[in-house]
Amino acid sequence: MNCRHCRHPLRHVFLDLGHAPPSNAYLSAADLGAPEVTFPLRLLVCEHCWLVQTEDYARADELFRHDYAYFSSTSITWLEHARRYVEAMRERLALGPHSFVIEVAANDGYLLKNLVAAGVPCLGIEPTAGTAAAAEQLGIPVLREFFGERLGQQLAADGRRADLIVGNNVYAHVPDINDFTRGLKAALKPGGTITLEFPHLMRLIEHTQFDTVYHEHFSYLSLYTVSRIFQAAGLRVCDVEELPTHGGSLRVHGCHVEDVRVTTSAVAALLEEESRRGLQTVNTYAGFQARADQIKDDLLLFLLEQKRIGKKVAAYGAAAKGNTLLNYAGVKRDLLPFVCDAAPAKQGKYLPGSHIPIFSPSALLEHQPDYVVILPWNLRDEVMAQNAAVHDWGGRFVTAVPGLTWI
């Protein structure tokens, strides 16, 4: 396999999680009796541009289906994050009724609804039918397509280049990152701004966040690599922010390479930190597998011990990262009888691979487990606040990443 960005041969394996189904391919009861499709889940690192990427097997249209079950509005924390972002960008870019904003991967309208309310013209681009329909019900115009250079050029030809293009947690999800970036270039007005948010590879390595690895994430990104990809497309990273979301993310601000804006000192400072932490050194990636295996082993030992002594364990959050963790550990219903989730689209279904049933959060009150394993650890505080009654019967919360922790 050659690197998806620079086409250099890939020789170094960063992480091998065996075979797994797509992490968001939730199953119905009828699906349980049918064969389940799995793909190898391995990460490779390019020693030329340092793009970390999944091995080529799954296609985007096999992963982001019409029944894609991730709805951004399920998380109160994420809704507030989006609201604050829109408020800040309206002020920073003086967005108003004569502006135009495009969000790529608009999902269920969690972000653009704030622009609609403020009277800022906008367009969502979202290929998954269920989430696109939810956005349209909020009055958001949506194109139900995958974004890339062809669509970017079409938008430009139609006179719909944007003052601001937003892409939250989509840049890592595109199989052809060069084509996607050229699409951003084509759809951006002169003087316009791109902001992309994505989990930061540096934090993934630092905190052993191996459960954020799944087929839908084709790329695992550093500022260094994103800067190279932007440059190849005629764009420039002019600013960067470090965010706490998803265990540590970046928000890069991009512009046309010829834009008069000065690149902020934050860009050089973070590039220096990445270099100091060895993100352009093969040895940095070599020991990650053993650390991931330790987390997996510790979780398994915990679940086996609770089963041995007769304690009840449940999980909360039917999240993609949870599916990666459970499938790599080989956890089934005998060790984890059910998982609760607040998203109605997931309730009544089953986790891919493990086939653990998904219930509404009310099941915690009904069964009163001794331990509740929070699978989306990035939402730990929100989950604990919403389910504080667990402590009333002496129950405790548990997280597995970056290490087994009782709360």
Over residues 95-151, the pLDDT tens digits come to 999 999 999 999 999 999 999 999 999 999 999 898 999 999 999 999 999 999 999
Whether residue 163 is predicted with pLDDT greater than 60 in this model: the reply is yes
Higher-pLDDT residue of 63 and 200 is 200
pLDDT for the residue numbered 154: 98
| Token code pair at residue 252 | 């890069």
Phi first, then psi: give them for residue 239, nearest 5 degrees.
Answer: -160, 160
pLDDT band at 71 (very low <50, low <70, confident <90, very high): confident
Query: If you average pLDDT over residues 63-75, what whole number do you get?
Result: 60
| Token code pair at residue 283 | 């040895």
Phi first, then psi: give them for residue 389, nearest 5 degrees.
Answer: -60, -20
CA angle 373, 375, 379 (to 5 degrees): 110
Q: How high is the mean pLDDT of the chain?
A: 94
Residue type, 209: Q
Q: CA-CA distance, 342 to 344, in Å (whole number)? A: 6
Helix or strand (DSSP H, E) at 268: helix 265-276
pLDDT band at 61 (very low <50, low <70, confident <90, very high): low
Whether residue 64 is predicted with pLDDT greater than 60 in this model: the reply is no
Residue that has been written with the tokens 């394993």 in this structure: 373
Whether residue 62 is predicted with pLDDT greater than 70 in this model: the reply is no
Residue type, 354: S
pLDDT for the residue numbered 253: 98
Query: If you average pLDDT over residues 153-162, what whole number do you get?
Result: 98
Residue 30, Cβ density class (10 Å: 0-12 exposed, 13-18 middle, ≥19 buried): exposed
Domain ranges within the chain, ordered by starting residue: 288-406
Query: If you average pLDDT over residues 36-49, what whole number do you get?
Result: 95
Q: Which CATH superfamily is domain 288-406 in?
A: NAD(P)-binding Rossmann-like Domain (3.40.50.720)
Residues with Cβ within 8 Å of 196's Cβ and at least 6 positions away in sequence, in order, are 167, 168, 170, 171, 226, 251, 252, 254
Residue 3 CB neighbour total at 10 angstroms: 18
SS3 readout for 123-184? EEECCCHHHHHHHHCCCCCEECCCCCHHHHHHHHHCCCCEEEEEEECCHHHCCCHHHHHHHH
pLDDT for the residue numbered 326: 98
Query: If you average pLDDT over residues 302-311, what whole number do you get?
Result: 98
Query: If you average pLDDT over residues 71-91, what whole number do you get?
Result: 89
Per-residue pLDDT reduced to its tens digit, 326-350: 999 999 999 999 999 999 989 999 9
pLDDT for the residue numbered 57: 65
Cα distance between the two ends of the chain: 43
Helix or strand (DSSP H, E) at 88: helix 76-93
Please give the share of the chain, as a percent, with pLDDT higher than 90: 90
Whether residue 362 is predicted with pLDDT greater than 80 in this model: the reply is yes
pLDDT for the residue numbered 70: 63
Whether residue 359 is predicted with pLDDT greater than 60 in this model: the reply is yes
